[in-house]
Amino acid sequence: MEYQTIIAQLPYTPPFLFVDGLTAVDLNGVSGFYTFKKEADFYRGHFKDNPITPGVLLTECCAQIGLVCLGIYLVTSSNTLSNEALQIALTSSEMEYYLPVYPDEKVYVTSEKIYFRFHKLKCKVKMHNAAGKLVCKGTIAGMLKSKTNE
């Protein structure tokens, strides 16, 4: 499957799309990248005179690349759900943060599948900066379902 095909199926658009590209995807994991643009509105208030990317957005970036992109790939590969009108909901996350991410900083996310069963996907995720230093890591889980199976 083409990486752009996976990205095109994401249920997000700017300014809430935190995936610029994917570098690898298979049945066990995914890796990709994103640059937090300095023009993003949240930098105006987080923090005054020292803009830093909020941790919740680092988690969201990890979830979009590490959980949602992988989920789309798994669903498409296994034909377990219709990938048309796919719904994805975050069910849990546990993250640890080590370094700040500044405006215009590019980050790299890697994800390793822990399990995918009964339409629930759980992954270990890590985010590194361009220097290869660990920014954050944790576990993220979500449920996938087709709108047609409501």
**Tens of pLDDT, residues 12-48:** 999 999 999 999 999 999 999 999 999 999 999 999 8
| Sequence-ordered strand ranges (E) for 1-150 | 21-26, 29-36, 86-97, 105-117, 120-129, 134-146
Distance in angstroms (rounded) separating the CA atoms of residues 111 and 125: 4
Residue 114 sits in a domain whose CATH number is 3.10.129.10
Distance in angstroms (rounded) separating the CA atoms of residues 13 and 17: 5
The secondary structure element, H or E, covering residue 74 is helix 70-78
Q: In this predicted model, what pLDDT tens digit does every residue of 58-76 receive, in sequence order?
A: 999 999 999 999 999 998 8
> How many domains are there within the chain?
1
Question: What is the residue range of 52's domain?
Answer: 3-149
Residues annotated as catalytic (active site), given as ranges: 46
Provide the pLDDT for residue 77: 83
Distance in angstroms (rounded) separating the CA atoms of residues 4 and 22: 8
Q: What average pLDDT does the chain have?
A: 92
Backbone torsions φ then ψ of 80, nearest 5 degrees: -80, -25
pLDDT grade for 145, boundaries at 50, 70 and 90? confident
Q: Is-contact 84 146, C-beta < 8 A?
A: yes
Distance in angstroms (rounded) separating the CA atoms of residues 22 and 92: 23
In the β-sheet with 120-129, what is the strand arrangement from edge to edge?
21-26, 29-36, 105-117, 120-129, 134-146, 86-97
Give the mean model confidence (pLDDT) for residues 98-124. 97
